[in-house]
Structure 1
Amino acid sequence: MARPPGHPPAPAGRVGLLLVNLGSPDSPDAPSVRRYLDQFLSDPRVVEIPRIIWQPILKLFVLTRRPKVSAANYAKIWDREANESPLKLITRLQSEALQGAFGPEVIVDHAMRYGSPAIGERLAALRAQGCDRICVAPLYPQYSGATTGSVLDEVFDVLRGERWMPALRTMPPYHDHPAHIAALKTGLERGLAKLDFVPDRILLSFHGMPKRTLELGDPYHCQCQKTARLLRESTGRSEAEMPIGFQSLFGRAEWLKPYTLPLLEEMAGSGFRRVAVLMPGFSADCVETLEEIAVEAREAFLAAGGTHFAALPCLNDSDEGMEMLQILLRESLAGWVGAD
């Protein structure tokens, strides 16, 4: 007898764990970047301008100019051996490292919000393997409607058409989780130990968001501030020694301040010539960390009078990063899998 649509094949009773990150183009060329940016910037969670106004601007101006520039930036950091962007490669490695960590009944997979592998594709793959319970884990420490909210929108939209809906959980933001702060501290200390200089300042750079999102109630700014405060407390540093900045600005609207690039230039001009930058809002290195900070921000800082600059790595699939993920995910899977 034919199996009803949406009915997972036997054996059922498994648990699916889906790690989700932002995504990237499939190749570091303009056509691939154009497809990626079209999907990304068409998301109403990302650009909150009315569609009837924004789409002509996107199609006629943004997508005719930006892909070539962005493709060149991706080409600088592309992993040629794996033929993947660092973000996709690291997220895949995180997923592979977690396979088997929660017992044989838990199948770990990964997806990208934009580009491939798509959320719908990987949810279907988990269902096909008998997962009638699925935990979706957006790998954004701080919540924003434009990141975590968009991931959940896509998950719910995909599952909306299912005849047989799986039981669903989502991992909460972990900006202030003790395991996250401990992992950031360990990663920071390891990164600093490898430098051949002692930084005058350690800048914590978070991805920017339009100021309007804060005014409308998005908790992102507050959660970034809390992550920064807890990390300062754990390392015994003051706000002056470990300030905060916001990067990756887009468009003409005012964004969360202070902006990372002018702040770095101001540091250099004020006599703080040795600076390290940590990016605690990114779970994996990507074009924003490896090109925007490690290349562009470095050049701007040195041009402003700085002498030493380091972009410290994200948690990625490091030992402390994977230990943190296991703690967070085990909490989200509680009751679905055994305690051991």
Structure 2
Amino acid sequence: MKPAGHPDIPAPKVGVLLINLGTPDAAEPKAVKRYLKEFLSDRRVVELPPLLWQPILRGVVLTTRPAKSAHAYRQVWTEQGSPLAAITRAQAEALAPRLAGQGVVVDHAMRYGHPAIADRIAAMKAAGCERILLAPLYPQYSGATTATANDAAFAALAKMRWQPAIRTLPPYHDAPAYIDALADSIRAQVAALPFEADTLVASFHGMPQRTLDLGDPYHCHCRKTARLLGEALGRELTVTFQSRFGKAKWLEPATDVVLGELGRTGRRVAIFAPGFSADCVETLEELAIRGRESFVEAGGKDFAYVSCLNATDGGMKMIEFLVVQELAGWLRAS
């Protein structure tokens, strides 16, 4: 018999926590406002002094932006919730059976919103995960994405008496498995289009120019991904950066500006987003809907959005390969 007061301790397990950016709980202004408040209050996302930024955030931004963003979310919302939430959940569900034979527990979390990183780490620890791989699904590293996801996990660990051992998935912007999976997916989707695309646009999420000046490697990672992907496809890629916000100078060239130019010159465009592991409002609404509108309004005709890897077989093989690579030694120990 076990002594009273000593609960059963689960058998030691290894855990993998897939992490993505986050999403509002509903495509409604109130839910979007809660999400934006958390997201835009992150010091890694907006690197302005809080005394300067918070009045702007709580005034103009959170007064005007939630309704506009809610409209964008409504354009792409699904029965399972936002595309990002649904796809990230599907990725975790698809990865779990691939690793189940090695005793690995797979879960997912969002940096902002639900399910929260702290909650899922606590649940995994309660389930016996004494070793956890944090896997932020950002191919290109940035302080505003990968680092802040890890920050949230470490903050949760700081409150735990019995911490699990932790590893973090490094950026995989130049990993052959990632480049090959992207190239295979893009090649197949472009070949299936009803027109022959003469211009391939790789649109990455934008960042303020200041982040590059301060030493963030994101811009360099994006450029390397585009170079390697272009070599794999045997095509020259047009690289752009989307989602500008505010009046500061952002990485260029801007996706909307380039799409306008391509529309005016009669190019046939296929656009994709190699920096996103899952389709979301930035790809399905900003690129596939508003991007097309910018292109057509400028006089363009042939335009197609090429989807992300999502939970496709090729995408999941890539994630499985990267995860197993980072679990080296742990699987034997478990």
Q: Under TM normalisation by the shorter chain, which class is it?
A: over 0.9
The one-letter amino acid of 1:88's match is A
Aligned residues of 1:206 and 1:281 also touching (Cα < 8 A):
yes
Q: Is the 8 A contact 1:208 1:255 kept in 2?
A: yes
Equivalent of residue 304 in structure 1, options 294, 298, 303:
298
- Unmatched segments (≥5 aa) in structure 2: none
Equivalent position to 2:274, from 268, 274, 280: 280
- Give the one of 248, 251, 259 matched to 1:253: 248
**TM-score, structure 2 as length reference:** 0.96
Aligned residue type for 2:265: S
List aligned pairs for 1:1-340, cutoff 5 A: 1-2=4-5, 10-79=9-78, 81-82=79-80, 84-102=81-99, 103-238=101-236, 242-272=237-267, 274-338=268-332
* Structure 1 residue 268 displacement after superposition: 2.0
Alignment identity in percent?
56
Q: Which moved more, 1:94-103 or 1:315-324?
A: 94-103
Please say if residues 100 and 106 of structure 1, whose CA atoms lie closer than 8 Å, have aligned partners that are also in contact.
Answer: no
Inter-partner Cα distance in structure 2 for 1:224 and 1:87: 21
How many angstroms does 1:338 deviate by?
Answer: 4.6
Provide the secondary structure at the position in 2 that maps to 1:237: coil
Distance 1:3 1:215 in 2: 54
RMSD: 1.3
Rounded to whole Å, the distance in 2 between the matches of 1:277 and 1:2 is 60
Q: Distance in 2 between matches of 1:117 and 1:319?
A: 24
Q: Give the Å deviation of 1:304.
A: 0.6
Stretch of structure 1 that moved more, 186-195 or 176-185: 186-195
- Give the secondary structure class of the aligned counterpart of 2:329: coil
Structure 2 CA distance for aligned equivalents of residues 3 and 31 of structure 1: 45
What is the one-letter code of the residue matched to 1:285? D
> Is the deviation greater in 186-195 or in 330-339?
330-339
Instruction: Determine if contact 1:12/1:132 at 8 Å carries over to the other structure.
Output: no
Distance, in Å, in 2 between the alignment partners of 1:3 and 1:153 is 32
Partner of 1:100: helix, strand, or coil?
helix
Give the letter aligned to residue 262 of structure 1: V
**Displacement after TM superposition at 1:69 (Å):** 0.6
Q: 1:113-152 CA deviation, whole Å, 9 max, x = no partner?
A: 0000000010011011001101000000000000001001
Runs of 5+ consecutive residues of structure 1 not aligned to the other structure: none
Distance 2:208 2:6 in 1: 48
Which shows bigger deviation, 193-202 or 244-253?
193-202
Once the two structures are TM-superposed, the CA of residue 104 in structure 1 deviates from its matched residue by 4.8
* C-alpha displacement of 1:271: 3.3
> TM-score, normalised to structure 1's length?
0.95
Q: Distance in 2 between matches of 1:16 and 1:187?
A: 28
Contact 1:18 1:110 in 2 (8 A): yes
Q: What is the DSSP-based 3-state SS (H/G/I as helix, E as strand, rest coil) of the residue aligned with 2:330?
A: coil
Instruction: Give 1:319 shift.
Output: 1.0
Could you list the per-position Cα deviations for residues 18-62 of structure 1 after superposition, in whole angstroms to 9, with x for gaps in the alignment? 000001000000000000000000000000010111111111110
SS at match of 2:171: coil
2:260 alignment partner AA: E
Higher deviation after alignment, 9-18 or 110-119: 9-18
Q: What one-letter code is carried by the residue in structure 1 that aligns with 2:300?
A: G
Q: Is the 8 A contact 1:185 1:234 kept in 2?
A: yes
